[in-house]
Amino acid sequence: MPLSDPAAREPMHRRQIDMHGYRRADGLFDIEAHLLDTKSYGFDNEERGFLPAGTPLHGMWIRLTIDDDLLIHHCEAASDHTPYAICPQAAPNFAALAGLKIGPGFNRAVQERVGGVLGCTHLREVLAQMATVAYQTLYPVRRAKEQAREEATGVREKPRIIGTCLAYKPDSPVVKLRWPWLAEQTAE
């Protein structure tokens, strides 16, 4: 275990988020997520009655269909388990994400389209993580396009990932290894 030993404790809540990235036969990509919340104890729910331990409180799905430029072509959401009967009514609203591009400002744009009473807190939270899964899924495709562009033009562009975390700090050993030409420019 990478963390220190915890204090004595008992489980109360579990959230499982499972995400996958797929290449589709039509050239697009699907990024899917499933969120599942359970409690380790039984409790009363105002609408659903008594929920025994392990019964899903939230069970939600969301799929983004994107192209290799990270443009969302389609978004579909569904809620199998919710605490209230009204909750699944938010799922169709996520179709409003079509036309957005995953990149800078994505979370703000999501908030504008399905924030507050238009959407679901849990599905919105998952979308930020889905954006990262989209980048990971498309890495080989986007890298090949970048290399082809560099070969065709002779111009090397600074990768947008530079400066986004400690590993990609402009003068880090990772940058020096992956982009030696960029590290040389930084040293000048």
pLDDT at position 70 is: 97
Q: Which residue has the tokens 């990149």?
A: 103
Q: Are 115 and 94 in contact (CB under 8 A)?
A: no
> How far is it, in rounded angstroms, from Cα 8 to Cα 84?
33
Nearest to 31 by CA among 62, 56, 3: 62
Residue 157 has pLDDT above 90, yes or no: no
Q: What is the pTM of this model?
A: 0.89
E strands, the chain, are 13-23, 29-39, 43-45, 49-51, 58-66, 72-81
pLDDT at position 179 is: 87
Residue 138 has pLDDT above 90, yes or no: yes
pLDDT at position 75 is: 98
Average confidence (pLDDT) over 108-115: 97
Nearest to 130 by CA among 113, 164, 107: 107
pLDDT at position 161 is: 86
Share of the chain above pLDDT 70, in %: 96
Average confidence (pLDDT) over 24-48: 97
pLDDT at position 187 is: 56
How far is CA 91 from each of CA 64, 83, 122, 153, rounded to the nearest angstrom?
13, 14, 11, 44
pLDDT at position 185 is: 66
